[in-house]
Amino acid sequence: MAMFLTSRVTSGGLQLPADLNALVREGIDFTLRQEYDRADSVFKEVVAKYPKDPIGYLYSAAVMQAKSIDYLDPLNFDAFDSLLARAETCAQAIVDNAPHSSVGYYYRGTAIGYDAYAQVDAGKWLAGIMKGLSAASDFKEAVELDSSFYDAYVGLGTYYYWKSRKAEFLNWALGDRRAEGIRLLEIAAEKGDQNRFTALSALTTIYLDSRDYELAIRCAKRALSQYPENRIFLWGLAAAQEQSGKFEDATETYRHLLTNILDARIVNPYNEILCRLNLVKAQIALRQIQNVDAQIDAILAFEHYVFPENLAKRARVKFEQAREIRAQLAHQ
């Protein structure tokens, strides 16, 4: 068992060997700072030092997923699936050798859960729900073995909410577990170890979905207090501010986000277009139209940019919206 089980659970989270713990925390920090290459290098070092532990493979996959979400780049499923397969093999070895330890179930559930999220993000809701069910079963087992394993609450809570949300027409038969899912995520955000920011991200998205905008703002700001340049949380904060009618705050956040996007290492035209367009809408709501023309010019300057297939149609829609706004302002 010792050759497989390099970690155990204590005080609500994984207790790792000191050198592994330091590497994992460094890699998570780089990921949240959106320094993906540095994060990837750290987790490759984890894999090299601990090739039989799932954690290096899992976090390498997590970095790929985070970068894909941030830059709206298609996920390299071959590389992603390979990492998850290796993580699942290692996790299964832990389950086989230590069936009464929550660690193996947590790792296996995490591997399956990453795949479930990727399926949903690709629009394959049924496949995602089925894989999510399998992941939730493992997370539930981990929590039943150790109720203080708060990091495992994240996958379970996320699954409970979205399964109920996407199958609302069946809630009369299956039960509505959205409130329970939110409760588990709130506990993880407060008491979790490695997954606190994952829980905050999930809660921000869920509160936006349920139109609890003040709670979405609160969650996003909690994360931004430590990682003020994280674009995922900036997008969430700006959306919650805009949708709740706090246009002055939304304008400020979109300006901050635009500066961040322009300063990023990777050119990201679609996110720039989306941010500028949202900024324009917030300014118009405030009747601050003095520099709207300049923003629309900057948006339309990308009309001849060759966008990847997954963004080309979406970009055309944004160009049409920018033109419509310009036409409406011209007739005022």
Is this structure's pTM higher than 0.85?
A: yes
More confident residue, 12 or 39: 39
pLDDT digits (tens, 9 = 90+) for 18-55: 999 999 999 999 999 999 999 999 999 999 999 999 99
Say yes or no: domain 1-146 is CATH 1.25.40.10: yes
Q: What percent of the chain is modeled with pLDDT above 90? A: 80
Cβ(1)–Cβ(97) below 8 Å: yes
- Closest to 159 in 3D by CA, of 193, 188, 130: 130
Residue 105 tokens, joined: 């179930």
Phi-psi category of 37—alpha, beta or left, where left has phi over 0 and alpha has psi -120 to 50? Answer: alpha
pLDDT digits (tens, 9 = 90+) for 75-128: 999 999 999 999 999 999 999 999 999 999 999 999 999 999 888 887 887 788
Q: How far apart are CA 12 and CA 300, in angstroms?
A: 50
Angle between helices 231-243 and 213-224 (to 10 degrees): 150
pLDDT digits (tens, 9 = 90+) for 53-88: 999 999 999 999 999 999 998 899 999 999 999 999
| pLDDT at residue 314 is higher than 70 | yes
Q: How far apart are CA 309 and CA 241, in angstroms?
A: 31
The alpha carbon of 120 is separated from its chain's Cα centroid by a whole number of angstroms, namely: 12
Quote the pLDDT of residue 167. 67
Query: What is the SS3 string spanning the chain?
Result: CCCCCCCEEECCEEECCHHHHHHHHHHHHHHHCCCHHHHHHHHHHHHHHCCCCHHHHHHHHHHHHHHHHHHCCCCCHHHHHHHHHHHHHHHHHHHHHCCCCHHHHHHHHHHHHHHHHHHHHCCCHHHHHHHHHHHHHHHHHHHHHCCCCCCHHHHHHHHHHHHHHHCHHHHHHHCCCHHHHHHHHHHHHHHCCCCHHHHHHHHHHHHHHCCCHHHHHHHHHHHHCCCCCCHHHHHHHHHHHHHCCCHHHHHHHHHHHHHHHHHCCCCCHHHHHHHHHHHHHHHHHCCCCCCHHHHHHHHHCCCCCCCCHHHHHHHHHHHHHHHHHHHHHHCC
Mean predicted confidence (pLDDT) in 137-144 = 96
Q: How far apart are CA 185 and CA 219, in angstroms?
A: 11
Question: In which band, very low, low, confident or very high, does the pLDDT at 188 lie, cut at 50, 70 and 90?
Answer: very high
Q: How far apart are CA 284 and CA 292, in angstroms?
A: 8
